[in-house]
Every structure is written in structure tokens, then in C-alpha cells.
Amino acid sequence: MNKDILRGGEIEEAVVELQTALRGKADSYEIFVSIDKGLIVDTKEGEIDSFKVRSNLGVGLRTVKDGRPGFGFSSVLGKDALNAMAADTITGSLSVESDVAYGFPHPVRRKSSPDAPDLQATLVDPDYGRLSEDEKIEISRRIEKSARGTDKRIVKARKSSYSETWAASRLVNSLGADSLHTATFFSGSIAVVAEEKGESQMGWDVGMGHLSTDVKPESIGERAAKVATGLLGGEKIASTRSPVVLENGVVIELLGALSGSFSGENVLKGRSMLAGKLDKPVLSKAITIIDDGLMPGGWGSSDVDGEGVLKGKTTLVEKGELKSFIYDTYWGRKAGAVSTGNARRGGFTSPPSIGISNYYLKAGKGSLNTLVKDMYGGLLITDLMGVHTINPVTGEFSVGAQGFMVKNGKVTHPVRGIAISGELLDLFSKVERVGSDMRYLGSIGAPSLLLKELDISGT
């Protein structure tokens, strides 16, 4: 059915109409059509707070005329609107400087293998759309009910949410590319407040994946409740320098802050803390970082990227040594490299740009409890505040933190009012052990880490 939608009817007519309009007027072109539909439901106190249904259909157009790039888009697929968009796109490109690096990739087919996993089967839920509206609302209610039922100190649910999306796209260019991509996305989340003896703490959790079964309402609510109640009774500590275990969710945030430095565009523009360090040690030898666009079930997985280039697996850091950056077609050409299949689309209203697919720090051995035990004494950090303030060019940071004291290899009591500071590359260089408790939040994954030491600001 999805293939019929993308290769027939209104969409097929739109593609043909644009190809006709561009013939003899553009040296090369790329047509990107995307469709998505879905909903998000929020509940509070067991009642519906909001119920939003969305549906989008549109086409984005990129052209090259005399080396000058043009871009346009339209959410109307009628003949007049498409012809006007094509004309405006080419006219607009005439005021742009010529650049020989602009252009589109030639299509390359992936060699088939009988042993290759069926990637598409891990990205699309065949049961999408079968739940009734009442059943979808009930999922959000179950998340909240689970959180409240976990501990009587949970006094408020700020928002319990459930969302689902079906998305499909088709990319056609003048060099013969014609690719399809379809995926479904599901998520459930909640933020709760725990109170005791006049103190309040908030906890949050989320479950997400391509299949509806990836959202487990009871587990989401229970985890959020345990986060909030676990932080009650926190004590202040003096400033210190001590060993630290970073829980996987914290590592995911810090790894995300580092991701932009792997962009070939940022490297060439001098906006990367990794510029000039290729094939040199930049992180701890315990760390390997990978971007894998073909990971089964990965949030950012697809056979091809946003330009139709085959996706693959790129090792960015291997045992602490910087091995590669990521590129799309344009910035690969500018750097004298090739695309790594990392052109990412935000939709039909904007051209593609460099982005991660499934970006993760490779797991090691040992559970979170094992890392805490091996640390023996120090801090277990479970939450950060202000990660968005990390300097993306220098990696410098000073952010609020929450967590627990660890003595004699055991978690003792929560701590509050602390902050950690330093520089990202230095932080990841202090990693001594990598845990096995891999977790993904969207397209970023990481296990917990044991660090030799970190500066902690307290009272």
C-alpha cells in the first residue's frame, strides 16, 4: 500500500509535472516528496488534556543551474502551484554564487545478500492504525496510573503523553535516483512530582521505538516515579574532585553535545573541537563511537540517506582515536572526501543537512551496579541541567547535576545543589570503564561510564 501511495496517483503526477517543468531549465534537480500522519495525546489526572491529530504532505525541490543551487517547496501539489514553485526556485538560484561542489549523487544499488536482515521489517509496525482513539488515550492513562501506583509520594503528573507517527518519503533526482522510505514511530513519556516533608523532586522517563510494543506504559511510569522519589532527602556536599559514574542517560546527553563536532561542515568552518585531530587520540582508549545508519530497529535507520546515498556504518572514534567525520554530498566534495550517507531531512520544507543516524558509544562489560562497586567511593550522577549551554566549539561546560553519594561500593544517599564543569574531550578522556547497560533515546545511545575523576562544585 505504501509503495502504491508513493509511486502512483497524486504523488506520481506531481513528480512528472515537476520533471516536465524543469526540462531544459535546470541542469540537474532533486524532487523530495514526504507524507506523515499521526497523533499525540496528553492526559492529566486521568483526563484528556489534549488530543492532536496531524497530517502533512508536500514536496521539496532542489535545482542546480550553472553551478548555482536553488531550493523551493510546496504543500500544494496542483499543476499551477508546482510550475510556479519550479520557476521561482530556478529564478531564485540566479542570485546565488556558483559553486562546483553543488550537485546530486548518482544512484548506487546495494548488493543483495540472502543473509542480510530485513531492515524495513524493523522500521514499520504492520499494526499501525489499528488501535482505536480510546485505546490510545488509555495508554497515556496507564503511564500515569503506573507512576502514581508506584509510590504514594507521587503527588502530581505534569504530563503523561502517547504519540504515534507514520511517515513515508520518495526521492527522485535527474541522475536516475528513485528511492522510497517508510517508517512508523511510537513514544510514551511522563514527568511526575514527588513530595515529602515539604520537599519536591521531579522525575521523567520515556519509551520509544518503531513498534508499538516498544512503548511499555507500566515501565515508563514506574521508572519516572523511582527517579523522582529517589532524589528526595538530598544533601548538599562540599566542592571536591572525585571519581564519578555517569548513568547512561547522562552519557547520552553529553554524547549528543559532542555530535556536532563530527560534522564535516563544522570541521571545515572551524566550528568543531575535533578539527585537525584525525587519526590522533582524542578520548579514552576505552571509548569507541559509531554512527550506523543500517541498525535494525534504529530510530534513524533507513536504506538511503536524505539525498539517496546508501547508508552504512561509520566508525568515528576507535579506542579513543579519531577515525572519521560524517559528510553529505556537498561537504564531502568540499573536503575532498565522499558522502558517508549522513544527509538528513527535517521534512520537505528545508534542504538536507549533515546529521547523525544511529550514533552511539559502544558498550563494554559490567552493569551499572558493577561500575558503582568498582568505583568504591565517589558520585553516581543521574541527571544534568543545562546541557544545552555546553559550548559546541570548545566543549567547555558548567552544568547542574543530581545524583547519589557512593561509599564502600554502595549507593548511600542523594545529593543536590551540585554542578560539574570541565571540557567535553577531557571528560571523555577520563573514562576508565564502559558499562554494558546500553540505552537509546532517539538516535543516540550509550551505556554508563566510570570516570577517574571530575570536578564537583558544591557548597
Query: The domain spanning residue 184 has which CATH number?
Result: 3.30.2290.10
Residues 164 and 267 in one domain: no
Reported as half-sphere exposure (CB side, CA atoms, 13 A), residue 132 has a value of: 3
- 3 state DSSP class of 423: strand
Q: What percent of the chain has pLDDT over 70?
A: 99
- 3 state DSSP class of 311: coil
- What confidence category does residue 3 fall into, taking pLDDT thresholds of 50, 70 and 90? low
Residues 192 and 293 in one domain: no
**Per the structure block, which three cell numbers stand in for 279?**
587519526
- What confidence category does residue 132 fall into, taking pLDDT thresholds of 50, 70 and 90? very high
**Residue 114 pLDDT:** 73
Task: Quote the CA–CA distance of 180 and 211 in Å, as a whole number.
Answer: 20
Would the pLDDT of 218 be above 70?
Answer: yes
Q: First CA to last CA across the chain, in angstroms?
A: 62
Residues 163 and 294 in one domain: no
**Per the structure block, which three cell numbers stand in for 337?**
572526501
The pLDDT tens digits for 371-386 are 999 999 999 999 999 9
**Per the structure block, which three cell numbers stand in for 403?**
545524583
Task: Quote the CA–CA distance of 355 and 34 in Å, as a whole number.
Answer: 18
Which CA distances in Å does 239 have to 3, 214, 455? 60, 41, 8
Residues 206 and 326 in one domain: no
- 374 falls within a domain: yes
The answer to whether residues 417 and 442 touch, using CB atoms and an 8 Å cutoff, is no
**Per the structure block, which three cell numbers stand in for 291?**
554512527
Range of the domain at 187: 119-170+179-228
- 194 falls within a domain: yes
Would the pLDDT of 2 be above 60?
Answer: no
Residue of 112, 122, 140, 127 whose CA lies nearest to 44? 140
Residues 344 and 197 in one domain: no
Reported as half-sphere exposure (CB side, CA atoms, 13 A), residue 110 has a value of: 16
Residues 424 and 324 in one domain: yes
DSSP designation for 263: B
- 379 falls within a domain: yes
- 223 falls within a domain: yes
**Residue 1 pLDDT:** 45
Reported as half-sphere exposure (CB side, CA atoms, 13 A), residue 301 has a value of: 22
The pLDDT tens digits for 330-342 are 999 999 999 999 9
18 or 5, greater pLDDT: 18
- What confidence category does residue 387 fall into, taking pLDDT thresholds of 50, 70 and 90? very high
Which CA distances in Å does 380 have to 248, 256, 325, 415, 444? 11, 20, 32, 9, 21
Number of domains forming the structure of the chain: 2
Residues 224 and 238 in one domain: no
- 257 falls within a domain: yes
**Residue 109 pLDDT:** 86
* Mean pLDDT score across all residues of the chain: 95
Calculate mean pLDDT across residues 183-197: 97
The pLDDT tens digits for 228-260 are 999 999 999 999 999 999 999 999 999 999 999
Task: Quote the CA–CA distance of 15 and 28 in Å, as a whole number.
Answer: 14
Residues 313 and 185 in one domain: no
Reported as half-sphere exposure (CB side, CA atoms, 13 A), residue 447 has a value of: 25
The pLDDT tens digits for 277-326 are 999 999 999 999 999 999 999 999 999 999 999 999 999 999 999 999 99
This prediction has a pTM of 0.96
Residues 244 and 223 in one domain: no
Backbone angles phi, psi at 277, to 5 degrees: -115, 15
- 39 falls within a domain: no
Would the pLDDT of 153 be above 70?
Answer: yes
Residues 332 and 413 in one domain: yes
Locate the DSSP E strands across 11-84.
28-44, 47-65, 68-74
- What confidence category does residue 368 fall into, taking pLDDT thresholds of 50, 70 and 90? very high
The answer to whether residues 189 and 206 touch, using CB atoms and an 8 Å cutoff, is yes
Residues 362 and 243 in one domain: yes
Residues 337 and 374 in one domain: yes
